[in-house]
Amino acid sequence: LKIVLVGASGTIGKAIVKELGARHEIVAAGSRTGDVRLDITDPVSIRTAYRQIGRFDAVVCAAGRVHFAPLASMTADYYAVGLKDKLMGQVNLVLLGLESINDGGSFTLTSGVLTDDPIVSGSSASMVNGAIEAWVGAAAIELPRGIRINVVSPGVLVESMDKYASFFRGHEPVPASRAALAYSKSVEGAQTGKVYRVL
């Protein structure tokens, strides 16, 4: 399969490359790294990148930013970061990718454990992750040509604990290699409309 992997250079992305790269052609994409450059917050750049890539069988997104801060200091502008980046960035990858994805292809997006296991300072992540998961379920029943869509919701990663440990006390971290298996199931399996929780 020809798989467009947005965020291939990241912590999750690198593990996905390891898992899927041996069996498939990976087109690595990122805003500053990769074979193809695209910024998920900029629909024009997504369109341009898809034109460069041509037809493909799958899009996997392991990118998306949100603003972490205590609730009392959150503002509409801070929430807008996550809405524009992690939420609409991933939605736009799907909407704009429909033109170039082959029949029977798949989209795999990323949410995260904070959907239903919130932490202090994570309200934007919880908001956006929940929205992504609801949207994927809805999109799945309308996608044409046998195209599938799923979302992977990883727990905090072992590899990210240096950065995030103080926010995620009591969470059991997940190795990125285990999260990568859920992306494999989504791309190489046959299910659609699923949320794969890797905890």
Ligand X SMILES: NC(=O)c1ccc[n+]([C@@H]2O[C@H](COP(=O)([O-])OP(=O)(O)OC[C@H]3O[C@@H](n4cnc5c(N)ncnc54)[C@H](OP(=O)(O)O)[C@@H]3O)[C@@H](O)[C@H]2O)c1
- Residues at the contact surface with ligand X, assessed by CB under 6 A: 6-13, 30-34, 38-41, 62-64, 86, 110, 112, 154, 156-157, 160
For residues 120 and 55, give the distance between their C-alpha atoms in angstroms, rounded to a whole number. Answer: 42
Are the C-beta atoms of residues 39 and 45 closer than 8 Å to each other? yes
Are the C-beta atoms of residues 26 and 8 closer than 8 Å to each other? yes
Task: Indicate the residue among 89 and 105 with the shorter CB distance to ligand X.
Answer: 89
For residues 105 and 85, give the distance between their C-alpha atoms in angstroms, rounded to a whole number. Answer: 24
For residues 191 and 106, give the distance between their C-alpha atoms in angstroms, rounded to a whole number. Answer: 10
Residue 98: other Cβ atoms inside 10 A: 15
Q: How far is the CB of 162 from ligand X (least distance, A)?
A: 11
Q: How far is the CB of 14 from ligand X (least distance, A)?
A: 8
Q: How far is the CB of 154 from ligand X (least distance, A)?
A: 4
Task: Indicate the residue among 142 and 162 with the shorter CB distance to ligand X.
Answer: 162
Q: How far is the CB of 120 from ligand X (least distance, A)?
A: 16
Task: Indicate the residue among 20 and 141 with the shorter CB distance to ligand X.
Answer: 20
Q: Which residue is nearest to ligand X (CB)?
A: 10
- Name the phi and psi angles at 195, rounded to 5: -110, 115
Task: Indicate the residue among 173 and 193 with the shorter CB distance to ligand X.
Answer: 173
**Which residues on adjacent β-strands are paired with residue 29?**
6, 36
Task: Indicate the residue among 100 and 160 with the shorter CB distance to ligand X.
Answer: 160
Q: How far is the CB of 183 from ligand X (least distance, A)?
A: 11
Are the C-beta atoms of residues 196 and 186 closer than 8 Å to each other? yes
Q: Is 159 left (phi over 0), alpha (psi -120 to 50) or beta?
A: alpha
